[in-house]
Structure 1
């Protein structure tokens, strides 16, 4: 089994493992499996080996939290010598002459960037496929790995790398993490500060995707430049609300997903927390405001792309997004925050299913129409996007499994500043109810 990031970094710091060897083993796994998994748009073979050799020579090796750890980076951020495609052939392929903030923080922590992971065009959809390949779910390859951080989720769940970077605008870390059975954390608004990024009018943020909670905590601490987040501690006795009501639609859930919420409640109760049913007052306007940003954000970004070269589904989304731009109002978010603040004055954490339906099947979704993509996208993401609009931290944690082999994961949501609480609670779930870290484990 692939070592965790925490294990690798500890062994490299102690000079018990050679970063070049660790990187070569990751590259070998990618070469052997990614033809099926489809996680990577670009694998940085020679560059990664050179980076690993440089890590081994660093004077501060003993202090690096991610010393020698192979990491996959979502194909949306600047990496020196690479270009970020955003899943599209319509953008510029001019390579970056320097690292962006995410790559800089990862390298400063000692990580080795082995590749850029596959995303859907402009990160709009919950299936990461493009004309060159499809990111498949390692738990059941007939299903997609999700999106938009689907390549990152597939790379981690398949054991190709121990950790990966993702971004989450409407669930894009949490949804693929849930589909692939790994840990995914969307931090709260402005926890990962990125100067100059608008992130779909404030919806999107960067976060970790890992197989263990300890790895998520370390990677979160690096991305946020908050070292204290790496220190997992037993959480305080918390008031935990359980809800399986799909926001507004009350659509039926797969039974395994509602059972996962009940199971999480049992485990939390046994750990000494107060657990009871509880559902926020979901607002139609908040859902509309989230959808408006989902359209208007990519429409704004598309100014840097050749419109005619975008996929047909994306062009339609851009046109609709321009129409929806007038509905992006701060007042919508403020009304939703009034409801969330009232709910979290009486509860510390909300537990819901992470997925509202089974994932999309793995196929060439980029060849289908906008409506064929949009309907299943909205259906599967019912529990996710409202917490982007609120700017609250939310986390996907494996608990059970659906008969299809797709994991049954729960979403943990806390008020702003609750990242450490979520990580602590997730660690309790992990200790009481361990999950298979990777396929075959």
Structure 2
């Protein structure tokens, strides 16, 4: 017997203005990753917005963010709280919803205001990445809760405070959720044309600190040990790894050292990113890094420290994940949307969830573009259709006779 989902999809039409107003209100709160107070204000607002859903709310303290400063010293920065909301943990199908509260725009960044570019295009910090997506997610869940199909689905929402800086502090919460759920829906923005991200590269962020020996550049140059020269050699060897293994790219992105030119520099700091396509690439990279570090460290008078690591495993599509994408495509077709999934080099919390064995779609948020720049925008007409896409997926999952592909056993009786 087929089900008619029309009344609950049509209800979403009435929610457009609310989704838009809430997105604007959230985007007017600066929630740069290291602005813990701002992130917590967004969390407070989301708790209020979620009250009609009736779930159990938890505020969860997370570990501080660690970063190597330009003096080679590890600093710690407090982060905002994570917010977790759960409902019906006893239901046969458990779904994990996730969206981050932080943005890339620090509290002192010049991009802090909302601007209408035309009747359908809103420019503002986080409107697409990811505050608009949060409203799409919550509206879809609300549509499910209004329907008679909700009882078969239990869900938990994680609003995390640190996705834009790698989710190191919230990663344990994602891994914990993966022990309880069957699938994940994450609300990063879609591609500008509405298509979804499929396979994703993995990523690692690293900092390297080299210490040498200061000396007078004229009188005792021979007694110095030049940290900048050692770092230059390190970066050259690092960059030479590009092209040695398919799918692995290494980007040295920052370097600072030295000062007065009449002093042999005794400190240099550099940072780099590695992207990889296959899980086994990580071990290859770690081995090559160890060889380069050992070669530099062997030099007399030179000390080298490597910080950081791989925080996102590659997202490789499993048969269950491909079936989940086909469900999204079929639901999109029912709504007059043409949806494909495409590989991307970017990373997000979908990588973490996939690494824990949970099939997920991680670009169910709004249509927009130019994210991570002051030109970020959202197409406001996408709020309704993207919320309908998720709501239809949820209701079809709730009424499906076969969820064995998600590890859900058929109910008896």
Structure with larger Rg? 2
Q: Tell me the TM-score normalised to structure 2 length.
A: 0.28
Q: Which structure shows the bigger proportion of residues in strand conformation?
A: 2
Normalized per residue, the structure richer in helix is 1
Q: TM-score, normalised by structure 1?
A: 0.27
